[in-house]
Structure 1
Amino acid sequence: MSEALEILKKYWQHDRFRPLQNEIIDSVLSGKDTFALLPTGGGKSICFQVPAMMQKGICMVISPLIALMKDQVANLQSRDIKAIALTGGIKSNEMIDLLDNCQFGNYKFLYLSPERLQSDWILERLKNIDINLIAIDEAHCVSQWGHDFRPAYLKISNLKTTFPKVPFLALTATATDRAKEDILKELGLEKPVSFHQSFARKNIAYMVFEAEDKIYKIQQILKKNPQSSIIYVRNRRSCKEISSQLQNLGFKATYYHGGLHSREKDKNMALWMEEKAQVMVATNAFGMGIDKANVKTVIHIQLPENIENYYQEAGRSGRNGNKAFAILLTSPSDKLQAESQFINTLPDKSFLNLVYLKLNSFFQIAYGEGINETFSFNLNHFCLKYNFPVLKAYNAIQFLDRQGVLSLSQEFSEKISLQFIISSKEVLRYISMNRYDEEIVLAILRTYPGIYEIETAFNSALIAKKSHHSEKEVLKLLEKLQEKKIITYHSKGNDTSLTFNEIREDERTISRVAKYLENQNQLKKDQLQSVLHYVSENNICKSKLILSYFGEKQTTDCGICSYCISNKQKTTNIETLSKQILKLLKIEALNSREIENRTHTNNDTIIFVLQQLLENEIIIVNPNNTYTLKS
């Protein structure tokens, strides 16, 4: 057995590698720069985690996604593998300690954002660390033709000078041919070995259905396929609303979005992972690090922003190899809604400049100041104060985030501060009389020695770990201690924070990043057009359309998508169904759902036949959306 497979078995409990993983690992171990395009579910992280474990030194992983970094670090730590992430909000003195750990503490993985590499002192510290591999995750971010371009990625190529003998591994799940060429060029990979796994997922049936009543259609789909499902929605409010609607219809459903507290996220995730909830209703915040093999159905009820995101989200179905469904529900108004959300809200340079100026005013940041300052941020309050359209302002702030000017964090955090207001002698007396509370109280006192003198920021997860209790038990004890007037305890929930990564320079700052704005706006328009083409093109296999977008050619139809299925049905059922509908309409006017229920035929076929009958002027549509025979 190879050493790589032994490592895979020991730490990840897998008996074999997925396609191309072993070849990519061999390439990296031989010291070659490597590019790997592995679509969703291909197991990209194993490609750098296994070779890093096989060698002396530490693997540096560059990633733009804080949530993904945290998830991977937690995953590695759960396997007793030492890993650190240098995420936003870490103070310089803490950063020094973490980098000392990397240098002297036998750590195997260091995760950091590309923006961190722009700090000269961090780069100098990295030179003293024994780095065995540099992995660039989400490598499409280096390309202006990628769906999440970040200029900070352009600086990664400078590491070639600093670490000339360390191999680079660039990884992405979604890149068009044009984006791939850009990645290889901008990262400065030397004679790279490229690995491509096909985007074809032969077990996934890509379905596009037009539905006037989407909840009714979802009900039909979930009844027909009662296995594990994901429903993607556009915003947080829809998560809860649709989850509640499904529960009222008798389905076991839960929901997930970036604004939930970590405890609620964990609880809802557990319900779904443990098959106690059939349906997870989620925003696109859900999915990173989720590997549930038996997801039967992924349903999108609104148009996605681009094919790249849709492919990744749809690809969370059918990872066990069994037949699965990726369903996109559309209605006539969806195009206008998508254009309103994704195109009409794109900021131009003058609006971007205005938002940046008002953000500095909002937080009272003087010219030449503000670097590394973090603030709680309420977008609605900000927009209300300056009369900004919310979506357009959000897109402007998100653009500044991607350019590294700001960092926008949308993970829920609970800020807790507390202080002991009785003497240490009285606290010890309390402990002696309440032995069950002893471990937690002592952990607090040892961790925060100044907690008698000043109200102190408190990390409940850390205390839970140190005291060998659950976080829930720690928080319950804090409430108890406050009731007994032993501590003062304040808890403030916050789901968005804003960090300024640069000093305020107004027009100079915006001029530097605005050169990318026009190109990115045009790319977003082109990407939405690709989505609209995918939805509206009814004469080509849906699998072919997706593969074509990513530069792959498929000569045969998949046989299982909505186009292929309707094509089969049309040839056999159209004439019979037309007669059946006309017979029903002789008796009374009916809407499409009533016709669907009486003919026991799927809605797509009904709509197709009704359109044909309308075009041939055999029937007419009434103002109340019912159909009747033309007199």
Structure 2
Amino acid sequence: MITVDESHCISQWGYDFRPAYLKIADIRELLPGVPVLALTATATPEVVKDIQARLHFRQENVFRMSFERKNLAYIVRSTEDKTSELLHILKRMPGSAIVYARSRRRTKEITGLLQGEGITADFYHAGLDNAVKDLRQKRWQNDECRVIVATNAFGMGIDKPDVRLVVHLDLPDSPEAYFQEAGRAGRDGEKAYAVILYSRSDKTTLHKRIPDTFPDKDYIKDVYEHLQYYYQMAMGDGQDCVKEFNLEEFCRTFKYFPVPAHSALKILTQAGYLEYTDEQDNASRIIFSIRREELYKLREMPGEAEKLLQTILRAYTGLFTDYAYISETALSVYSGMPVPKVYELLKVLAKRHIIDYIPHKKTPYIIYTRERMDRQRLHLSRSVYEDRKERYETRIRAMVEYVTSESICRSRMLLRYFGETDHRNCGQCDVCLSGRATDELPANLLDELKEQIITLTEEHPLTPADIADRLHTNRDTLTQTIQYLVDEGELNMKDGLIGKKN
């Protein structure tokens, strides 16, 4: 069997499209007749259909469970003091928790705050050493640490059943990402909570991600051109070249901000001009520079250096014939010395020519999949740029609508986003508990809005935001009306656009 996990990544309509996934279908030609299973927990009906097409399913064949989580209460809490609110929630609600933050720096800051309040916490992000990540993950899974404060790098493959609380300090940029991260709570079937802490500035911050994620085409072409200067790449050269890449140095040299420059390189990857890899973990390596018998004759070795050498010899083999990958964190655990001390002693041993030590580093790479092209010939197709940007904007609008709505059940909104329409209000989200959630629309309001919306979308489809602007109607009411009409088959919704049913 060929099994494709996180299969929404194969769809350009999916929220986490990865071009490499498109190559998976080629395996079918090498293994004809072998069954294919595609798995995902975060796909809209449109993406489900696309996954099957891209994996060359002979006919549509979908096994679908409901997205409903009856034990999970979705809460949006408006606050301008998120850290105080977080502390209040954690002190009131016992049990294991995940707190998601947008930046690496913020994960460290929040962890320090929690520890200062007597709450056991660790931070986790992609920039940490693998051994540190493994250690912190195990501490949390074994309940030695109550709260893990993390970026979205944390969670893939994590199946801790008794997580009682997931808190988002910053808004994710899609309902899919939110649903996946929030869904790590309550996997044991017991009552759990998914909380978003929302402030007025979050909406602006989220919308700012659009130009950061999809900078102007001219900007992207400038980044491509400057990349050639960076590597001194001649026209027509470059195909199949693999180059180490330092984003900070590149941005400093050509005066770019890192986030949009990173996004530009990702778009150039989608367009097929190069492959920009994320940081590749190159673990530390050592080899002994002297023979084994010479090592035993050494004199005047500091006690700690001697202890570290003995630890290395016990932990690793083949060090006298070839480089071996080592972990400074593991050596710290084995020797009882702090990591900075281990690092310092390794450098001392290298200076004395006892070992050759190549420290750990994380290195992104640029791989040229085509020869260098003239800037004018660079083509960013609609499917690579405009279509993906429009879908990104649609997801952000859906996320903003989710947190700002005050009259629609949170669970119902998420279920409708993923194509489920036959559910009642959950009775446990903040909207339901406040008594503001409505099941159905008043008949007179429905009739009045229905005619106006159908008239507006007669000639060409519009976004809900466009409709709201033209009708000057309460956004929650309008959302309910549109969703009702879509559910009843009187309107069609595709890529965030509302139009007549074909």
Equivalent position of 2:325 in the other structure: 459
Write the letter of the residue equivalent to 1:459: Y
TM-score w.r.t. the length of structure 1 is: 0.61
CA contact (8 A) 1:372 1:501 kept: yes
Larger relative contact order (Cα-Cα within 8 Å, sequence gap ≥ 6)? 2
* Equivalent of residue 168 in structure 2, options 300, 308, 321: 300
SS at match of 2:222: helix
Write the letter of the residue equivalent to 2:389: N
Question: 2:7 & 2:127 partners in 1: Cα distance?
Answer: 27
CA contact (8 A) 2:72 2:192 kept: yes
Equivalent position of 1:252 in the other structure: 120
Equivalent position of 2:407 in the other structure: 539
Shift of 1:413: 4.3
Equivalent position of 2:362 in the other structure: 495
Residues 99-248 of structure 1: pairs in structure 2 closer than 5 A: 133-248=1-116
CA contact (8 A) 2:96 2:165 kept: yes
Equivalent position of 1:23 in the other structure: none
Alpha-carbon distance change, 472 to 554 in structure 1, aligned in 2, over 3 angstroms: farther
Question: 1:427 & 1:222 partners in 2: Cα distance?
Answer: 54
Q: Does 2:312 correspond to 1:446? A: no
Question: 1:178 & 1:547 partners in 2: Cα distance?
Answer: 14
CA contact (8 A) 1:228 1:278 kept: yes
Alpha-carbon distance change, 396 to 326 in structure 1, aligned in 2, over 3 angstroms: same
For residues 79-103 of structure 1, give each alpha carbon's deviation from its aligned partner in whole angstroms, at most 9, with x where no partner exists: xxxxxxxxxxxxxxxxxxxxxxxxx
Shift of 1:153: 3.4
Question: 2:53 & 2:407 partners in 1: Cα distance?
Answer: 37
Question: 1:304 & 1:471 partners in 2: Cα distance?
Answer: 41
SS at match of 2:83: helix
Residues 362-381 of structure 1: pairs in structure 2 closer than 5 A: 362-367=230-235, 368-369=237-238, 371-377=240-246, 379-381=247-249
CA contact (8 A) 1:544 1:554 kept: no
CA contact (8 A) 1:356 1:506 kept: no
Question: 1:208 & 1:284 partners in 2: Cα distance?
Answer: 19
Write the letter of the residue equivalent to 2:83: I
SS at match of 1:185: helix
Shift of 1:342: 3.5
Shift of 1:441: 4.2
Alpha-carbon distance change, 308 to 221 in structure 1, aligned in 2, over 3 angstroms: same
Question: 1:162 & 1:288 partners in 2: Cα distance?
Answer: 29
Equivalent position of 1:262 in the other structure: 130
Shift of 1:418: 4.7
Alpha-carbon distance change, 419 to 546 in structure 1, aligned in 2, over 3 angstroms: same
Name segments (4+ residues, structure 1) moved above 6 Å.
Answer: 433-436, 442-445
Write the letter of the residue equivalent to 2:325: N
Equivalent position of 1:505 in the other structure: 372
Unaligned runs of 5+ in 2: 439-502
Alpha-carbon distance change, 237 to 504 in structure 1, aligned in 2, over 3 angstroms: farther
Question: 2:428 & 2:77 partners in 1: Cα distance?
Answer: 14
Equivalent position of 1:408 in the other structure: 277
Alpha-carbon distance change, 386 to 323 in structure 1, aligned in 2, over 3 angstroms: same
Question: 2:204 & 2:242 partners in 1: Cα distance?
Answer: 39
Question: 1:494 & 1:480 partners in 2: Cα distance?
Answer: 15
Equivalent position of 1:553 in the other structure: 421
CA contact (8 A) 1:539 1:563 kept: yes
SS at match of 2:27: helix
Shift of 1:499: 3.5
Unaligned runs of 5+ in 1: 1-132, 452-456, 571-631
Question: 1:480 & 1:534 partners in 2: Cα distance?
Answer: 53
Alpha-carbon distance change, 266 to 435 in structure 1, aligned in 2, over 3 angstroms: closer
Question: 1:230 & 1:171 partners in 2: Cα distance?
Answer: 24
Q: Does 2:265 correspond to 1:397? A: yes
Write the letter of the residue equivalent to 2:405: E
CA contact (8 A) 1:413 1:494 kept: yes
For residues 242-261 of structure 1, give each alpha carbon's deviation from its aligned partner in whole angstroms, at most 9, with x where no partner exists: 11112222322110000111
Question: 2:20 & 2:193 partners in 1: Cα distance?
Answer: 37
CA contact (8 A) 1:151 1:403 kept: no
CA contact (8 A) 1:231 1:300 kept: yes
For residues 26-63 of structure 1, give each alpha carbon's deviation from its aligned partner in whole angstroms, at most 9, with x where no partner exists: xxxxxxxxxxxxxxxxxxxxxxxxxxxxxxxxxxxxxx
Shift of 1:159: 3.4
Question: 1:155 & 1:486 partners in 2: Cα distance?
Answer: 47
Write the letter of the residue equivalent to 2:318: R
Write the letter of the residue equivalent to 1:563: V
Question: 1:415 & 1:192 partners in 2: Cα distance?
Answer: 48
Question: 2:264 & 2:307 partners in 1: Cα distance?
Answer: 54
SS at match of 1:149: coil
Question: 2:99 & 2:180 partners in 1: Cα distance?
Answer: 14
* Equivalent of residue 226 in structure 2, options 318, 340, 358: 358
Write the letter of the residue equivalent to 1:241: E
Equivalent position of 1:347 in the other structure: 215
CA contact (8 A) 1:254 1:281 kept: yes
CA contact (8 A) 2:98 2:163 kept: yes
Equivalent position of 2:390 in the other structure: 522
* Equivalent of residue 334 in structure 1, options 188, 194, 202: 202
Alpha-carbon distance change, 267 to 375 in structure 1, aligned in 2, over 3 angstroms: same
CA contact (8 A) 2:212 2:263 kept: no
What is the identity percentage for the equivalent residue pairs of Structure 1 and Structure 2? 35
Alpha-carbon distance change, 173 to 485 in structure 1, aligned in 2, over 3 angstroms: same
CA contact (8 A) 1:239 1:283 kept: yes
SS at match of 2:62: strand
For residues 149-180 of structure 1, give each alpha carbon's deviation from its aligned partner in whole angstroms, at most 9, with x where no partner exists: 23443343343333221111112121111111
SS at match of 2:424: coil
Shift of 1:299: 0.5
SS at match of 1:270: helix
Question: 2:45 & 2:399 partners in 1: Cα distance?
Answer: 18
Alpha-carbon distance change, 441 to 480 in structure 1, aligned in 2, over 3 angstroms: farther
Shift of 1:514: 6.7
Q: Does 2:190 correspond to 1:322? A: yes
CA contact (8 A) 2:408 2:437 kept: no
SS at match of 1:333: helix
Question: 1:189 & 1:427 partners in 2: Cα distance?
Answer: 62
CA contact (8 A) 2:174 2:396 kept: yes
Shift of 1:440: 4.8
Question: 2:85 & 2:314 partners in 1: Cα distance?
Answer: 56
CA contact (8 A) 1:304 1:310 kept: yes
